[in-house]
Amino acid sequence: MDAISGSGNLRDAVKVLIEAGKQTIGAPSVSFRAESLALALMRFLKSEVNATDLEQWCEALEGNDAIEYEEGHQQVISSILFEVSSPDINGPLTLEKCIEMLAKLKEASR
């Protein structure tokens, strides 16, 4: 599913993810990889995507029944998706926070 790769148009991906979540029956059908999250965060650092689009993409991924998180990375993925998708709770996404999130992903991959 290209919508979870982090490389495409995040606004379009949100629509696809929401629809996929509505249609899921049974076990998740797609695995979301830590590297896809890292790619999307890097795109934010490079100003290729804005904070709002990234927030909405993360929100569409978080808790989506059609998606399971990469084995061994569930906790870090879940934590970062929540942090990005909840700026009202966690504050706005900044470059500094994004760099910290990328460091957490890198550490979890060791």
pLDDT tens, position by position, 57-110: 999 899 787 888 999 999 999 999 999 999 999 999 999 999 999 999 999 987
Q: What is the pLDDT of residue 109?
A: 83
Amino acid at 45: L
- 64/2 Cα distance (integer angstroms): 15
Q: Which residues pair with 68 in a beta bridge?
A: 31
Contact 6, 43 (CB under 8 A): yes
Cα 5 to its chain centre, rounded Å, is 9
84 vs 80: CA distance, rounded Å: 6
1 — pLDDT class (breaks 50, 70, 90):
very low
Per-residue pLDDT of 7-16, as tens digits, reads 666 666 666 6
CA dihedral (103, 5, 59, 45) positive or negative? positive
Domain ranges within the chain, ordered by starting residue:
2-108
Task: Render pLDDT for 32-54 as a digit per residue (tens, 0 to 9).
Answer: 899 999 999 999 999 999 999 99
DSSP strands (E only) in the chain: 30-32, 67-69
Q: What is the pTM of this model?
A: 0.81
